[in-house]
Amino acid sequence: MNDREYALRKARLMAEKGWGNFPIRLALMDLKIPEGLVDDALNRVSKEFGEEERITMLLEKRKGLEREKMIRFLTGRGFAFEKIFEILGGVDS
């Protein structure tokens, strides 16, 4: 398996587990994957399974969680506040 395939597989696996693009990028960079291949893997994974879809998936899995705890959980997974609030329906919903 070459670096391109490995980067794509690792990025897909992390996305399927509900991680945001930022921690996926960090994980791939820690593995010494060249930045161009990291960008390519993230672009492909984002087209297949966007951050909005990942956030929605995690919301479904953790339905009973209070809003504040959900926001903390999602930010811990590497999602931007703007994306989270976009999906949750605003800051004060």
Q: What is the pLDDT of residues 16-75, one digit of tens each?
A: 999 999 999 999 999 999 999 999 999 999 999 999 999 999 999 998 889 999 999 999
The pTM (predicted TM-score) of the whole model is 0.86
Average pLDDT, the chain: 93
Backbone angles phi, psi at 31, to 5 degrees: -85, 5
Confidence grade of residue 8 (pLDDT, cut at 50, 70, 90): very high
CA distance 82 to 12: 23
* The length of the chain, given as a count of residues: 93
Confidence grade of residue 91 (pLDDT, cut at 50, 70, 90): low
Confidence grade of residue 93 (pLDDT, cut at 50, 70, 90): very low
